[in-house]
Amino acid sequence: MAAGRAGQCRDALVEAGRPFAIRPAGMLALDVVRLEAGLILIEVDYTSARHAMNSEQAYSPTEIGLGRLVDLEKAPFVGQRALRAEARAGGPQRRLVGLELDWTDIEKLHADQDLPPVAPAAVSRTPVPVFDLGGRQLGRATSTGWSPILKKPIALASLPPTHEAPGSRVAVEWTVEGRRGRVGGRVVALPFLDLPRKRA
């Protein structure tokens, strides 16, 4: 539409959506909703093929939760042989999982510095290490934030198959005022939240 009509269009949308409690939302709010829905974000939760510089940055669809969208029996396509080999080997060596983080551990890291606990308002897109309970790094959490609906901190993470089962326990790096610590995490099924909604 012509730029001069954008205001009119916005007003019409707000009026039409009033019975449905429509409200404007910014990018920070949309990022929280994305995390709650367990939706991945390119160049955050995985690296695109265009930008991958090494094998660690190369992701298959199965590694990022999109394997259900690939038909390995379809007519030949680029990458088919590699995906078949991955399937024969038992799947990828890392899997997208959801994590619920231990709020009590986060409170303790703040208390150790005489600070009140803070629930982050925005989703962190900075990857942080994820460890097993013995302290060995397993993978990384890529999107981390507070879920205002679930009332708990959550994260998307890339972990090996040994820790992908719901209920698996891990530790996640958490930084408070420049001091790194670790908080407990538990693997949960994705999406974190699947509210009833209309689908087109």
Count of the separate structural domains present in the chain: 2
Domain assignment present for residue 39? The answer is no
Please answer whether residues 177 and 113 qualify as being in contact, where contact means their C-beta atoms are separated by less than 8 angstroms.
Answer: yes
Task: Write down the residue that tokens 């890339």 correspond to.
Answer: 158
Give the pLDDT confidence score for residue 197 in this predicted structure: 66
Residue 45: inside a domain, yes or no? no
The better pLDDT of the pair 55, 176 is held by 176
Q: What string of DSSP letters covers 84-149?
A: HHHHHTTS-S-EEEEEEE-HHHHHHHHHTTT------SS-B-S-EEEE-TTS-EEEEEEEEEEETT
> Distance (Å, rounded) from C-alpha 164 to C-alpha 118?
28
pLDDT tens track for 112-166: 999 999 988 899 999 999 999 999 999 999 999 999 999 999 999 999 999 999 9
Residue 198 has pLDDT above 80, yes or no: no
CA 114 – CA 73 distance, rounded (Å): 59
State which residues form the domain around 177: 95-188
β-strands 128-131, 169-176 pairing = antiparallel
102: in domain? yes
Please give the average per-residue pLDDT across 67-94, as a whole number. 93
Provide the pLDDT for residue 106: 97
19 membership: H or E segment, kind and range: none
Both 183 and 140 in one domain: the answer is yes
Average pLDDT of the chain to the nearest whole number: 93
pLDDT of the residue at 200: 46
CB-CB neighbours of 139 under 10 Å: 22
pTM: 0.86
Cα 194 from Cα 37, distance rounded (Å): 6
Q: Domain for residue 44, yes or no?
A: no
